[in-house]
Structure 1
């Protein structure tokens, strides 16, 4: 790196924290350790164990004093008790911006980082796709992913001008980061329909969680895909460095 080059941007990422009151001190220590070591925090869903307000407060208390932008998506665990409307204000009050089929631009050291966030959904991969056929409930699942694909396409168009572009989701968009999970459950871990706008628009990287026994690094074409589920990382967070005005995603511990 030239002597006059700006320092790389440090992006901390993790998913599947599954916060709950019995682990409040653990969460406080983990997030507190990021102070001074990250410029941006991205959370890939499953913030809570069952989506209950007392669990959301654990995360809120842990991140409240972090002086960096924080963006997150929902995970399936966060929806379990169907209390999203109760837990979202708790997290937002602590500085967490929830993205659901939405975009955000974080300005870090005068550099714009565009983020498209969505939960994603089940749906499958070659050989196991859920069809747009049959019972209305099954076709509703298919339509949910259609909405994701359309939102991601529009979101990536909206942040096309940003020097760095990141897709943040919970479910996996590629089998490359599911390796290690039984293939019989891949349909429930994500879908590859969401890969089309990623391949077309080529963001700098895609982050997801959900697959606890999956693989850390994969790809969709030339786009790096990282499974940042805490069980996969084997640690609390992974810090990526982004430098220069070209794709450069060097993962660092």
Structure 2
């Protein structure tokens, strides 16, 4: 599940839902935008609710978690709960390898933004290239036969369908899928696109799931159950 967008002024608690997930699954995966403004106080509220989890928690941050420049403190708070916050790293849980990066924007297919023109454009493209390099390095560390790639930004266009066309380039990048398809993975999950589609495949045929909280899933719940 992703895109919780925890806010200080929102009294809603996820404790009951997290407890339910702990009874239904073996590992709880979070795909970023855990906080709304990237504030340490918001992360503390989430950390309090994560105490209801009796299973391992692993995930990545999203763009909202960087908004206030407190992302390192957000990571620390969440890691203090025992959560595996991946930022270009991998970990293994019960024989399954988990690889995670935030990812970045840039567009899809032939319409991807190229590194040409103004320095600002080149820097933008450099950001996603850096994320894909970190993703590739992390994937090379996985020794498990089963693996899950965790992103915030989308690696394919199919799982962002129903979003406004004008914002497609800001929802993800095909460069992420190109990197993943150099390996064999069991599944890929992401968030970020609140009005996207649940399931799609990379050009190499690997399964991709948009698990943002707002997406309709087969469970009928805010979370998806994926067997690895």
Instruction: With the length of structure 1 as denominator, give the TM-score of the two structures.
Output: 0.84
Residue aligned with 2:76, SS: helix
Equivalent of residue 120 in structure 1, options 103, 123, 141: 103
Structure 2 counterpart of 1:208: 190
Whole-angstrom CA distance in 2 between matches of 1:156 and 1:35: 27
The residue that corresponds to 1:249 in the other structure is: none
Q: Structure 2 CA distance, aligned partners of 1:197 and 1:25?
A: 38
User: How many residue pairs align between the two structures?
Assistant: 224
Q: What is the 5 A alignment of 1:53-132?
A: 53-107=40-94, 112-132=95-115
Aligned to 1:229: 212
Q: Which residue among 151, 174, 180 is the counterpart of 1:198? A: 180
Q: Which residue of 1 aligns with 2:161?
A: 179
Contact conserved, 1:173 with 1:192, CA < 8 A, in 2? yes
Moved more, 227-236 or 192-201: 227-236
**Residue 8 of structure 2 corresponds to which residue in structure 1?**
21
1:44 to 2:26 alignment: no
- What is the match of residue 9 of structure 1? none
- Counterpart of 1:219 (choices 189, 201, 212) is 201
Query: Does the residue aligned with 1:26 lie in a helix, a strand or coil?
Result: coil
2:120 is aligned to 137
Q: Which runs of 5+ in 2 are unaligned?
A: none
How far 1:127 sits from its partner (Å)?
4.5
2:74 is paired with a residue whose SS is: helix
Bigger Cα Rg:
1
Gaps of 5+ in 1: 1-13, 243-253
Cα 1:24–1:233, aligned 2, differ >3 Å: closer, same or farther? farther
Distance across 1 between alignment mates of 2:161 and 2:123 = 28
- CA RMSD across the alignment: 1.5
State the alpha-carbon separation in 2 of the partners of residues 126 and 34 from structure 1.
36
User: What's the TM-score, normalizing by structure 2?
Assistant: 0.92
Listed one character per residue, the Cα deviations across residues 50-83 of structure 1 (whole Å, up to 9, x for unaligned) are 1111211111011124221111111011011111
Which has a greater percent of strand?
1
Q: Residue 148 of structure 1: which of 131, 149, 160 is its match?
A: 131
Offset, 1:25: 4.1
CA contact (8 A) 2:216 2:222 kept: yes
Specify the alignment match of 1:245 in structure 2.
none
Distance 2:138 2:40 in 1: 29
Matched, 1:162 2:149: no
**Is the 1:49–1:55 Cα contact (8 Å) retained in structure 2?**
yes
Q: Deviations over 1:198-247 (max 9, x none)?
A: 222121100000001100000012200000001113632111123xxxxx
**Is the CA contact 1:116–1:166 (under 8 Å) kept in the aligned structure 2?**
yes
How far apart in 1 are the matches of 2:208 and 2:101?
15
Distance 2:224 2:45 in 1: 21
SS at match of 1:132: coil
